[in-house]
Amino acid sequence: MVVETHLRHAATVLLEAAIRIAPPDTRDWGQAMRGELYHIEGAWPAVMWALGGAGVLAKQALASFLIPGRRGIVPDGGLFTKNTSLRKAALVTGAGFALAALLFFAAPPFRQAFRVAMRPWYILFERTSTDLQRDFGTLAKRAAARHDPQGLAFCAVRLYDPRESARLAGEAVRLDPSLLWVYAVVSMRHPELPEVDHWVGELERRDPQNGLLHLIRAESIDRAHFRHLVWTRPTREQDQAWQTAMAAAFQSPKFDDYLDRVAELNRRVVPSYGFYDPYEVVDRARLELPYYAFENSERYAKSLLHSGADLEARGDRKAARGKYWAVARFGQVIDSQARTAIEHWAGTSLQSMAYTQLQTSYENQGDRAQGELFGYLATKFHPVTGEHPKMAEEPAFGLSISSRNAAVVESSALMILVFGLLALVAASILIVDSRRGARPATQRAKPVATMVVLTSAVGLLFSSVTLYLTYRPYWYIFQGAIENGGRSQTRDLSIFLASTPAPLLLSPRGWLDALLYSGSPSFLFYFWASLTLLGLIGIGLVLLRHFRDRARTKRVSA
Amino acid sequence: MKAPRISRETLLVLARFVDRPGDWRYGYDLSRDTGLKSGTLYPILIRLEKYALLEARWETTENGVPPRHTYRLTPTGLELAQVKLAESRVDWLQQPLKQGV
């Protein structure tokens, strides 16, 4: 009884609220519905009555909002044409929203956001890594046609194919010898190339103090006995050559990975060719110092530290500390000029290893103060737990925010496609039906199609605004990197790009993550994707019912 | 020019008025007789009233019960309804859509 009273009260409140928002000329009808409410048997039927009435009044309120001069519910097109003007208003509004959404495509940030969001889906259609780099092939051809060394160099430093990369680098340097540094970047990426030895020789003449060149040479030597996935023991000569190269690297006063020059190249080439692809331009994971350089450095550092420990055991403390300091100094060189996370890691790691050894050395000597100092430094420079100041490239937004933004951007782009498709299908139904003339089944389909057009257009606009606003900060980061070579927040963009979830079909892990961790960014993406799928199934069922009713009406008429 | 279309629901409402031409009818009674929900019934009533095919009046009540709106077809409305119903040969018009509000 109490529940029934509450339900009736809720029904009354609902209708009265609807009467308040209704246009003045329909309020009387609202009162009429309100008057009947008292006589309806049962609380739930009363609620349903109120819902229906409130729907009518809300529709009138919307209609008078869309068409301010409109009076009442009476259509302009005749007595029995149901709500023609309202339908027209809905279609005009829907078209307006759809147009507004389409206008977003005129904005470069939006176009880029859409491309970025669609990128993971390309994987479905691209079979090989070469397919993924088709754009570079096209760009390289354009650059060759223009005899543009910078365009060729831009492609050379990015291509996966070592031979093509070497060919373009050679062509770029031939056209512009000042681009010799391109050889270093190509060599870093493809140390197995036979040209590397010759290139490094040329580079050493131009940039003799750069430790990077020695690291590349060392890796090239290392690769010589690891060919076709078969490892062969290095010869004494090879080992000696590797040791010499690493010793030279550790004595170098400078470390330059040439990424500044790559950034400069980007600034010139990207606007010139309209190659606004943040994946390729800002995601420098493939351009930065490869992991092997760190491995080689660590291997050589350990051998120096061991050798120092042996010397110390034999009583030659001075020579031992010289070796420890060689490691620490090279760590300092890399760290002081580090531009990437891996360089920072390598620099601090080497320093920490050396300071730990120096701490032990001084403690064994009984010099407690020095031991404590190096202990402090070893802790401070520890690459994981250390207090070494953070690099300028540390993400400002943070991992979780960028990951979440990536999920929002991808979901929004998906919604744009779905809503666009729905609006298109519904509009086509309306156009086809208006040409076929009036049929009863058609008349019933029209309100549904009109509603689909309106809601899809609203969804389209909402998704477009969300996509634009969410991606906008990353667009500014990208522009800053291109126009000014700015590195601030490029880590945020990299995290954002790396976080765009893989397509559903290709990522069973993504499904699992989404199921197990509702807080994960992929949850958001999979949630919306599932909701969209359910929506599509629902629309499919509605259409099925519509065509079945149509067929039935035809049979009855016949 | 296309002929005006009459929805099945409008014909159902007209048919109920034609059954008892002079009687004043309540909205809830019409809803029960035709099986139309309030969201469908009232727009039809409003349209008929605007075209002077239907007349409406308030019926006062006592003891704090809100007044009720009652309806019946005008002579013009009755004439038009009879013509339109005669034109319609669909048998199922005689049956309510379904029970409910």
Q: pLDDT for A45-103, tens place per residue?
A: 999 999 999 988 888 887 777 665 555 444 433 444 455 566 777 788 888 999 999 99
Tokens found for residue A461: 């606009």
Chain A residues within an 8 Å CB radius of B83: none
* Range in A143-152, A298-307, A492-501, B34-43 with the lowest mean pLDDT: A492-501
Interface test with B, best of A40, A47, A49, A435 (most B CBs within 10 A): A49
Average pLDDT in the B38-63 region? 88
CA of A71: which chain B residue's CA is closest? B50
- Number of A to B CB contacts under 8 A, please give it: 96
Residue A9 lies in a domain: yes
Q: Within this chain, do residues A176 and A276 fall inside the same structural domain, yes or no?
A: yes
Percent of chain A whose predicted confidence (pLDDT) is above 90 = 32
Say if residue A63 is in the same domain as residue A47. Answer: yes
pLDDT of residue A76: 39
A35 interfacial to chain B (CB closer than 8 Å): yes
Residues A505 and A518 in one domain: yes
pLDDT at B2 over 60: no
Name the percent of chain A lying above pLDDT 70.
Answer: 78
B96: left (phi over 0), alpha (psi -120 to 50) or beta: beta
CA atoms within 13 A on the CB side of A11: 26
A132 CB-contact burial (10 Å; exposed 0-12 / middle 13-18 / buried 19+):
middle
Distance from CA of B37 to the nearest CA of A (A): 7
* Residue owning tokens 């998906």: A414
CB A197 within 8 A of CB A225: no
CB contact under 8 Å between B37 and A443, yes or no, is: no
Examine the domain organization and report whether A172 and A280 are in the same domain: yes
* Assigned domain for A106 exists: no
Does A135 fall in a domain?
no
Q: Worst-scoring range by mean pLDDT, A156-165, A334-343, A460-469?
A: A334-343
Give the whole-angstrom CA distance, residue A181 versus residue A159: 16
pLDDT tens string A445-468: 677 778 788 888 999 999 999 999
Structure tokens at A375: 């202990």
Residues A337-351 have a mean pLDDT of 83
**Does residue A295 share a domain with residue A247?**
no
Q: Which of A71-80, A157-166, A268-277 has the lowest mean pLDDT?
A: A71-80
SS3 B25: strand
Least CA distance to B25: which residue of chain A? A36
Number of domains in chain A: 4
Beta bridge partners, B72, equal B55
Q: Amino acid letter at A46?
A: A
Q: Is the pLDDT assigned to residue A425 strictly greater than 80?
A: yes
Cβ-nearest to A52 among B39, B46, B50: B39
Answer whether A38 touches B (CB < 8 Å): yes
Residues A231, A314: contact at Cβ < 8 Å?
no
Query: What's the predicted TM-score (pTM) here?
Result: 0.59
Residues A358 and A375 in one domain: yes
Residue A120 lies in a domain: no
Q: What average pLDDT does the segment B33-41 reach? A: 90
DSSP state of B76: H
Nearest-by-CA chain B residue for A39: B28
Q: Is-contact A90 A453, C-beta < 8 A? A: yes
Closest chain B residue to the Cα of A42, Cα to Cα:
B101
Q: Which residue carries 């050379």 as its tokens? A: A156
The residue among A357, A391, A425 that closes a domain is A391
* A123 occurs within a structural domain: no
Over 90: is that where the pLDDT of A118 sits? no
pLDDT-derived band of residue A557, with 50, 70 and 90 as boundaries? low
pLDDT above 90 (res A225): no
The partner residue sitting opposite B43, judged by closest CB among A37, A48, A73, is: A73
Residues A326 and A304 sit within 8 Å (Cβ to Cβ): yes
How far A66 CA lies from chain B's nearest CA (Å)?
18
Selected residue with higher pLDDT from A547 and A219: A219
Using 50, 70 and 90 to split pLDDT, how confident is the model at A270?
A: confident
User: Looking at the domain assignment, is residue A112 inside a domain?
Assistant: no
**Mean per-residue pLDDT for A221-250?**
80
Together in a domain, A10 and A68: yes
Using alpha carbons, select from A112, A409, A411 the residue that is nearest to residue A280. Answer: A112
Q: Give yes or no: residues A405 and A522 share one domain.
A: yes
In terms of domains, do A403 and A551 share one?
A: yes
Q: Which residue of chain B is at minimal alpha-carbon distance from A49?
A: B38
Final residue belonging to a domain, choices A337, A372, A391: A391
Range of the domain at A14: 2-73
Domains of chain B: 9-59+66-89 (1.10.10.10)
Among the listed ranges A264-268, B13-17, B88-92, which one has the minimum average pLDDT value? B88-92
Tens digit of pLDDT for each residue in A244-267? 999 999 999 999 888 888 888 888
Cβ separation B101–A52 shorter than 8 A: yes
Q: Which backbone phi and psi does A273 adopt, to 5 degrees?
A: -105, 0
At A86 the three-state DSSP class reads: helix
Please give the pLDDT value at position A558.
59
Q: Give the pLDDT band of residue A405 (cuts 50, 70, 90).
A: confident
Residue B3: its pLDDT value, please?
40
Q: Choosing among B7, B33, B42, which should be mutated to test the A contact, i.e. which has the most A CBs within 10 A?
A: B42
| Residues of chain A contacting residue B2, judged by C-beta atoms under 8 Å apart | 437-438
User: Quick check: helix, strand or coil at residue A227?
Assistant: strand
CB A301 within 8 A of CB A332: no
The overall average pLDDT reported for chain B is 81
Domain end among A339, A362, A391: A391
pLDDT for res A68: 56
Three-state secondary-structure class, residue A439: coil
Span A95-120, mean pLDDT? 89
Higher per-residue confidence, A397 vs A155 = A155
With CB atoms and an 8 Å threshold, state whether B46 touches A52.
Answer: no
- Summarize the confidence of residues B29-38 as an average pLDDT: 91
pLDDT higher than threshold 90 for residue A324: yes
How many Cβ atoms sit within 10 Å of the Cβ of residue A411?
24
Hey, are the CB atoms on A52 and B53 less than 8 Å from each other?
no
**CA A312, CA A332: separation in Å to the nearest integer?**
23
Confidence band, pLDDT 50/70/90 cuts, at residue A346: confident
The CA distance from A79 to A161, in Å, is 72
Chain B hits for A52, CB-CB cut-off 8 Å, are: 37-40, 42, 101
Cross-strand partners of A227: A230
* CB-CB neighbors (< 8 A) of B85 in chain A: none
Residues A372 and A513 reside in one and the same domain:
no
Let me know whether A222 and A152 are in one domain. Answer: yes
Q: Which residues of B touch A (CB under 8 A)?
A: 2, 4-8, 10, 26-28, 31, 37-40, 42-43, 45-47, 50-51, 53, 56, 65-69, 90, 100-101
At A328, is the pLDDT very low, low, confident or very high (cuts 50, 70, 90)?
Answer: very high
Residue A402 pLDDT class (50, 70, 90 cuts) = confident
pLDDT for residue B74 is more than 70: yes
For A38, the 3-state DSSP assignment is: coil
Q: What's the token pair of residue A420?
A: 């666009």
Do A49 and B56 make contact, defined as CB atoms within 8 angstroms?
A: no
- According to DSSP H, which parts of A178-235 are helical? 181-189, 196-206, 211-224
Residues β-bridged to residue B54: B73
Q: How far is CA A353 from CA A37, A122, A301, A356, A401, in A?
A: 83, 44, 8, 5, 34
What pLDDT score was predicted for residue A125?
60
Q: Is residue A272 part of a domain?
A: yes
Shared domain for A419 and A548, answered yes or no, is yes
Q: Is residue A57 part of a domain?
A: yes
Strands (E), A171-296: 226-227, 230-231
Write phi, then psi, for A288 (nearest 5 degrees): -75, 175
Output the pLDDT for position A358: 94
DSSP class of residue A283 equals: -
Q: Which residue of A has its CA nearest to B45?
A: A29
Q: What pLDDT score does B1 carry?
A: 35
Closest CA to A49 of A6, A3, A12: A12
